[in-house]
Structure 1
Amino acid sequence: MARMARRPTLHDVASHAGVSIKTVSRVVNHEASVSEEVRTRVAASIAELHYVPNSFARSLKSGGGDTIGVVMDSIADPFFAELMSAVEARALDAGMTVIFGSTGSDPERERQQVERMAMQRVRALILAPVTGDHSYLERFRATLPIVMVDRQVEIGGYDIVAVDDRGLTRQAVDHLTERGHRRIAFVGNDVHFPTTAHRLLGYRDALAAVDVEPDPSWFPEGSGDEDEAFDVVTRLLAAPEPPTAVFAANPRAAMGAVHALHVAGRTDVAMISFGDFPMATTLTPAITCVNQDPHGIGVAATERVIAHLDAREHDRPDEHPLEIIVDTELVARGSGELEPA
């Protein structure tokens, strides 16, 4: 087997051009203190040897690279997959790259991912925080711009880009009650996230408006994943008075709920999902959803990162933290417009 050629180093370029390593470094970093003749000679050696500068090493030396770190639940979640894609596209437009780490909804794993990225000297961080103690972030505040997405932390002073979880859920459940539904299940009651708590409040607001006190069995606590949602909906459908409608608090729960309704042959049960998911428009009936706009959230969060970095680059006072609420809407497709059977 042929051996792979060794990648040329800074030392190889210096030797080839007949200059010092420091001179090559100055040329690579576009410093002015090099004559045009030497700069041309070094550039010719770089081209002939196919030398590629190590941008990561250069970022360590200069104290900042061209990378944004993104830490969020999981890209298996359709919402975060689209959000991540939007961050990456906007970052590339700005000449930056992105690295990703998942929390798995675990506070300790979140902390480890953030600390790992800080050690790798990312220039900024976009974080979807898990419920827990975030005091560890304080030591990064002066050097690392951090923008929260989807949910805020318990300490102030950070940008947050999100949607109106309580108000949008109220709107969605109002949409069901206006069609006569009173027994409405809330599926995906994941206690790890404050967003879920806000959505549960919106659910309660809508039912209170029609004088309904929800039975605790309609909104059991859990992890909010697909398998659990399937089990919850299957169990509720078997109750003496099953729900006539289901509100899914996240896309993963929505996929589990849809599966349970189809297995049980109960597609007459109305349903609304908080957040869209793949194949939602191809089902019969198609799934009505709150358009959570992960693309808009991702772009807005990246814009805030760029604003912070630009302020620091030009020695301006850092940007004041903002709360950005992205406009969204309820998308009626059929499942949320069904009346009680």
Structure 2
Amino acid sequence: MTTIKDLAGIVGVSHSTVARALNDHPAITPAVKARVRAAAEAHGYIANAAARALRVQSGALVGFVVPDIEENDMAAMAKAIAECVNATGRQLVVSCSGDAPERELAHVRALVGARAAALVLMPSERPLPETIALLSRLPTVQLVRQVEALAAEAFVFDDEAAIHEATAHLIGLGHRRIGYVGGSETVSTGASRLAGYRRALREAGLAEDPALVSTVPPHGPAAFGAFRRLVEATRPSGIVLGGPRITLGAAEAVGELRLRVPEELSLVGFGDRAWMRWWGPGLTTVALPARELALACGGHLVDLLRAAPRQEQAGAQAATLLRRGSTAPPPGGAMMRKRRRNLSEK
């Protein structure tokens, strides 16, 4: 890690001059400030208020950087990883990037500056080059998502197999016009889940209809609109959903459209929230082993911190399809024709 002493030697000034230059002291000339800041940037010097506030002692912290913590799965994962980290006498620091690469960089920079011992990351779609460079300085493990540019092992769900099973379930009930609403293909989870949907269709000898597929940012409002447009434009008999928030947005759209599930539309969700058990007839959904995945990740992280032989190996955890009342054989032609007339009149 580059220090103020290192910068002083590089620029050829005193330690105090470097410190004052970095703090924009008026006694330091603009030319010297520019030289010091250029050297700091070139050599990766980190000093900011967040890092100073976090710094307890070198190696006492482990970072957990995720898009948000609102999802129940993320909270469960944070708790499980904290249990593993606490067993080593360290503390887990949770930071939310909002899936913004710039905010992700700020959190990583602060953790590196705080001399964090390691970091668990659910990466954004495209981490900035500086983020990737900083992560090379400390042990890092990717969780749920993975980015090839990061030289860090990944603990993920078997997303492709999960959506493949969900789609095959509808096919087995007799559905042939099956829609899919999922996250963007530019994120590893979104790409894998869409691949599972496509593989199930292909194995059943069904041609994919692009009009039946919608990929959106994994947020409720976007999912609400995408689900409604897909239903009104294509009239599928069943829909597979590719994310927890997407499932929530779709459930809200079902209520607004007054669709009868499963009489008019079969629905398979993603994740297993408490509300899904009593929503309508009960939502058939893909349940994720969130705690198990996080414990495996945390155990691997502890092995890295202790420089011990690895007990936990990176890989994909299988999900489980929970069959409830929201899926059934497709409706008859008369019912669908009546429903189509009703939708067109709204």
User: TM-score range, shorter-chain basis?
Assistant: 0.7 to 0.9
Secondary structure of the residue that 2:275 maps to in structure 1? coil
TM-score by length of 2: 0.73
Deviation at 1:249, TM superposition (A): 0.6
Q: Deviations over 1:209-245 (max 9, x none)?
A: 2232232222223212111111122222223x41111
Greater Cα offset, 85-94 or 74-83 = 85-94
The aligned residue for residue 343 of structure 2 is none
Q: What's the CA shift string for 1:237-270, capped at 9, x where partnerless?
A: 223x411111111100001111111222222221
Q: Please list every run of 5 or more consecutive structure 1 residues that lacks an aligned counterpart in the other structure.
A: 1-54
> Is 1:272 matched with 2:268?
yes
Distance 1:87 1:264, change over 3 A: same
Aligned residue number for residue 59 of structure 2: 64
CA distance in 1, matches of 2:240, 2:132: 37
Corresponding residue number in structure 1 for 2:300:
304
Post-superposition offset of 1:185: 1.6
| Amino acid in structure 2 at the alignment position of 1:273 | G
- Letter of the structure 1 residue corresponding to residue 59 of structure 2: G
What one-letter code is carried by the residue in structure 2 that aligns with 1:242? Answer: R
The answer on whether the counterparts of 1:86 and 1:298 sit within 8 Å (CA) in structure 2 is yes
Secondary structure at the counterpart of residue 181 of structure 1: coil
CA-CA distance at 1:304 after TM superposition:
1.1
Larger Rg: 1
What SS class does the counterpart of residue 281 from structure 1 fall into? helix
Cα 1:210–1:93 change in 2 (3 A) is: same
Matched, 1:123 2:117: yes
Task: Show the counterpart of 1:46.
Answer: none
Amino acid at match of 1:324: G
Q: Is the 8 A contact 2:216 2:226 kept in 1?
A: no
Instruction: Quote the residue 2:324 is aligned against.
Output: 333
Q: C-alpha offsets along residues 72-117 of structure 1, whole Å, 9 cap, x if unaligned?
A: 1111223322222222233334433211111212222222221111
Provide closer, same or farther for how the CA distance between residues 285 and 133 of structure 1 changes in structure 2, counting only shifts above 3 A.
same
Aligned counterparts of 2:214 and 2:56: Cα–Cα separation in 1: 52
Alpha-carbon RMSD across the aligned residues, in angstroms, is 2.5
Aligned equivalent of 2:336: none
Letter in 1 for 2:235: P
Unaligned stretches of 5+ residues in structure 2: 1-52, 332-346
Structure 1 SS opposite 2:224: helix
Contact kept? 1:72, 1:103, Cα under 8 Å: yes
Q: For 2:199 and 2:55, locate their aligned partners in 1 and report how far apart those are by CA, in whole Å.
A: 54
Q: TM-score, normalised by structure 1?
A: 0.74
> Can you list the C-alpha shifts for 1:181-234, whole angstroms capped at 9, x where unaligned?
121221133244111011101101111122322322222232121111111222
Identify the residue that residue 248 of structure 1 maps to in structure 2. Answer: 241
- Cα offsets for 1:309-332 (capped at 9, x unmatched): 111xxxx6x869943222332121
Matches within 5 A, 1:28-177: 59=57, 63-65=58-60, 67-133=61-127, 135-137=129-131, 139-140=133-134, 143-155=137-149, 157-177=151-171
Q: Indicate the residue corresponding to 1:289 in structure 2.
A: 285
Displacement of 1:274: 2.5
AA matched with 1:230: F
Amino acid at match of 2:297: A
Is residue 285–residue 321 contact of structure 2 (8 Å, CA) maintained in 1?
yes
| Superposed displacement of residue 56, structure 1 | 6.5
Query: Counterparts of 2:201 and 2:56 in 1: how far apart (Å)?
Result: 58
Separation in 2, partners of 1:265, 1:90: 46
State which drifts further: 302-311 or 113-122: 113-122
CA shift in 2, pair 1:277/1:320, >3 Å: closer
When the two structures are aligned, how many residues end up with a matched partner? 277
SS for the counterpart of 1:238 is: helix
